[in-house]
């Protein structure tokens, strides 16, 4: 029993079914990342096209603070876009590393892929906690 605990996960031999599952994970995570990058890019283009009208609408909505509040809202949106871009980058990186690691049978690349996937899930957990907190604070303020 102690022999199995001291051995690394990557020293184990993977069967064909395990490799096919990891290949499917890599394929779908790449698809999700690329699709999300495209949607994010289209949204950025849309914001660039109607940015002035959005700024006017934000200024009208924030009559108390004027452009300062609108600027703060825009800054928050930029921070959220950067966080989502980093989140998707780790998913894209993980899919590529896992795929290359499986193709080359390289344990180091496979391990780096899992490390990137860990970062992706860590950011996912942070986003989830922030979302739950936002929902709870929204319920309290009603």
pLDDT tens, residue by residue, 39-83: 999 988 988 888 778 777 777 766 665 666 667 777 888 888 888
Residue 37: domain span: 15-140
| Nearest-angstrom CA–CA distance, 117 and 64 | 44
Q: Quote the number of domains for the chain.
A: 1
In a domain? residue 1: no
Q: Is the pTM of this model over 0.85?
A: no
Strand runs labelled E in 27-125? none
Taking residues 114-118, report their average pLDDT: 94
Collapsing DSSP to helix, strand or coil, 12 comes out as coil
Residue of 19, 1, 36, 6 whose CA lies nearest to 103? 19
Q: What is the pLDDT of residue 5?
A: 45
In a domain? residue 5: no
Collapsing DSSP to helix, strand or coil, 13 comes out as coil
In a domain? residue 10: no
Taking residues 111-130, report their average pLDDT: 93
In a domain? residue 72: yes
């Amino acid at each position: 029993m102690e022999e199995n605990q001291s051995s690394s996960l990557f020293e184990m031999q993977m069967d064909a079914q395990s490799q096919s599952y990891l290949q499917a994970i890599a394929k779908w995570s790449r698809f999700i990342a690329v699709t999300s990058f495209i949607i994010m890019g289209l949204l950025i283009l849309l914001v660039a096209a109607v940015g002035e009208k959005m700024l006017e609408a934000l200024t009208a909505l924030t009559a108390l603070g004027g452009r300062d509040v609108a600027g703060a809202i825009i800054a928050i949106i930029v921070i959220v876009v950067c966080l989502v871009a980093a989140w998707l980058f780790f998913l894209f990186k993980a899919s590529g590393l896992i795929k290359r690691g499986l193709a080359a049978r390289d344990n180091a690349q496979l391990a780096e892929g899992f490390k990137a996937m860990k970062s992706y899930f860590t950011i996912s957990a942070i986003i989830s906690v922030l979302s739950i907190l936002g929902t709870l604070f929204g319920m309290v303020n009603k």
